[in-house]
Amino acid sequence: MKLNELTAHELHDLLVNKAISCRELTEAVFTRVEAVEEQVKAYLTLTRDVAMQQAAAVDEKLARGEAIGALEGIPVAIKDVLCTQGIRTTCASKILYNFIPPYDATVVQKMRAAGMVFIGKANMDEFAMGSSTENSAFFPTRNPWDLTTVPGGSSGGSAAAVAADECIVALGSDTGGSIRQPASFCGIVGLKPTYGRVSRYGLIAFASSLDQIGPMTKDVTDCALLMNIIAGHDPLDSTSLPQPVPDYTNSLVPDVKGLRIGVPKEYFAQGVEPAVAEAVRAAIDKLCELGATAEETSTPYAEYGLPTYYIIAPSEASSNLARYDGVQYGYRAADESDVITMLRKTRAEGFGHEVKHRIMIGTYALSSGYYDAYYLKASKVRTLIKQDFDRAFEKYDVLITPTSPTVAFKLGERTDDPLAMKLADVCTIPVNMAGLPGISIPCGFDKGLPIGLQIIGKALDEETLLRVAYTYEQATEWHKQKPRL
Ligand code: GLN
């Protein structure tokens, strides 16, 4: 196997034993990028110079005989929604096409401090709005399993980079499914932590009450390792939780004896492809063979997840995106005849179709006289969705559902059908609405394309999610499959 095909924990051993240098590893990743990037298009910006410097620092440390951290020297792809000091950060929008942040997002700063190697900034849907990465203002990313299909979204660049071995691990962000759904489409592991578990400081805001950053990796062990780096309270994000961070590698034990699994029937309803439902049910059977028990349950408010999300998320987005006006940074329209004209044209030319659509819906939903009917009502339904989960977790340790109702769809297939596009997140959105952690892991294939299994846990119980995911992974081979590019 080539170095870029290995996992972070495998590479760590090779680095520590001096079997390889970090420079060699980084070169292997860039060689792969050169070979496949023209087809996959996972990256918006490559940061070879930064990476080579970071790699050299790790090699020097190793040469001095110093110990290195678990992810020190590991190449990472960073979703372009995260601010990187001195490195262009576009959010896949024309309006930020030239934005070079003067500061790092907290998670980026933590990865720098941990000695990770930055390969580049990954493509995404503009402002993380979308499910296929086709809303990128620059170009769509393709799914390494089948280049005629989408990688999912909005973290499609991160997912494709991991699946195509164009990096070792990646970071994504998830507002309604944007880590888990592309992880599912690309056959990798993606974890959306509990809301507040990871600092959002320096994450370009989409819907602030839903956004969360998380790991996208080749296996569950790497996911736990990356969580160890990024989780924790941050005084710069007042919504980050003050609870202590466990060592997530303690959860890497193959043991589900006595685990109670709830299987909410609403997630297997109409629209779920039979092959997906079958693979997920087979995975649940597997966990039962390994000592868990499973039972069908019901979370009746789940069906309101999608409609309420599409009030709450655009409302928050309309407010968050008000800051892009062409004055201090980013794109500015050429017509500066007066400030209102400049502002109007900047926003008209700088934002793409989907973003404008959401700003308009959100502005409407928040406007005086409509606020109670839309945003307030949606917030109340959100509480009902959360209470559904609370009830379920009185009886079960985890809930298991498909991550997405289908496998990856064709490029262009849903771009003219916004409802079909949005249905790709029907299983993931309720989890964000309730602020809970959810992980997607590979559990099978249909038509040669990966299927994802979603495990949902109690707030701050990422440990159980990782344990269940690890147990399943150790008993199966899905995660070892690679696309043939
Ligand atoms: N696809 C959903 C949307 O378009 C979720 C996106 C996300 O999680 N960032 O809003």
CATH number of the domain bearing residue 105: 3.90.1300.10
Give the pLDDT confidence score for residue 336 in this predicted structure: 85
Give the pLDDT confidence score for residue 278 in this predicted structure: 98
Query: CA angle 166-73-178, nearest 5°?
Result: 45
Give the pLDDT confidence score for residue 432 in this predicted structure: 98
Q: How far apart, in Å, are the Cα atoms of 144 and each of 28, 67, 123, 369?
A: 18, 36, 14, 48
Q: Is 177 in the pocket of ligand 1 (CB under 6 A)?
A: yes
Q: Where in the sequence is the domain holding 212, given as residue range(s)? A: 3-260
Region 300-327 average pLDDT: 97
User: What does the longest C-alpha to C-alpha distance in the chain come to?
Assistant: 71
Region 422-451 average pLDDT: 97
Residue 213 domain flag: yes
Indicate whether 62 pLDDT > 90. yes
Q: Which atom of ligand 1 is nearest to the CA of 129?
A: 4
> 86 CA to middle of ligand 1, Å?
27
Q: pLDDT confidence of 448, banded at 50, 70, 90?
A: very high
Give the pLDDT confidence score for residue 129 in this predicted structure: 98
Residue nearest ligand 1's atom 5 by CA: 176
- pLDDT tens-digit map of 236-288: 999 999 999 999 999 999 999 999 999 999 999 888 999 999 999 999 999 99
* Total of domains in the chain: 1
Indicate whether 4 pLDDT > 90. yes
Cβ-based burial of 364 (10 A; exposed 0-12, middle 13-18, buried ≥19): middle
User: What residues contact residue 182 under an 8 Å CB cut-off, 6+ apart?
Assistant: 133, 151, 152, 153, 154, 155, 156, 158, 159, 160, 172, 190, 216
Region 351-373 average pLDDT: 96
Q: Which atom of ligand 1 is nearest to the CA of 425?
A: 1
Q: Which atom of ligand 1 is nearest to the CA of 179?
A: 8
- pLDDT tens-digit map of 329-359: 999 999 889 999 999 999 999 999 999 999 9
Query: Each residue of 309-343: b (16+ CB within 10 Å) or e?
Result: bbbbbbbbbbbbbeebbbeebbbbbeeeeeeeebb
3-state secondary structure of 203: strand
Indicate whether 136 pLDDT > 90. yes
Residue nearest ligand 1's atom 4 by CA: 130
155 noted as active-site residue: no
Give the pLDDT confidence score for residue 1 in this predicted structure: 86
Indicate whether 228 pLDDT > 90. yes
> 336 CA to middle of ligand 1, Å?
34
Q: Is 428 in the pocket of ligand 1 (CB under 6 A)?
A: no
Residue by residue, DSSP assigns 387-436 as HHHHHHHHH-SEEEEESSSSSPPBTTSSTT-HHHHHHTTTTTHHHHHTT-
Residue 215 domain flag: yes
- Give the active site residue among 41, 79, 192, 458: 79
Residue by residue, DSSP assigns 113-174 as HTT-EEEEEEP-SGGG--SSSTT-SS----BTTBTTB---SSSHHHHHHHHTTSSSEEEEEE
368 noted as active-site residue: no
Indicate whether 130 pLDDT > 90. yes
CA pair distance 139, 318, nearest whole angstrom: 24
Residue 163 domain flag: yes
Region 431-452 average pLDDT: 98
356 noted as active-site residue: no
DSSP letter at 198 equals B
Residue 482 domain flag: no
Spatial contact of 222 and 462, defined as CB atoms under 8 Å apart: no
Give the pLDDT confidence score for residue 270 in this predicted structure: 80
CA pair distance 302, 345, nearest whole angstrom: 40
Q: Is 178 in the pocket of ligand 1 (CB under 6 A)?
A: yes
- Give the active site residue among 93, 131, 154, 158: 154
Residue 358 domain flag: no
The β-bridge relationship of strands 75-79 and 117-122 is parallel
Region 194-218 average pLDDT: 98
Residue 207 domain flag: yes
Residue 72 domain flag: yes
> 67 CA to middle of ligand 1, Å?
40
Residue 27 domain flag: yes
Residue with tokens 């004209």: 341
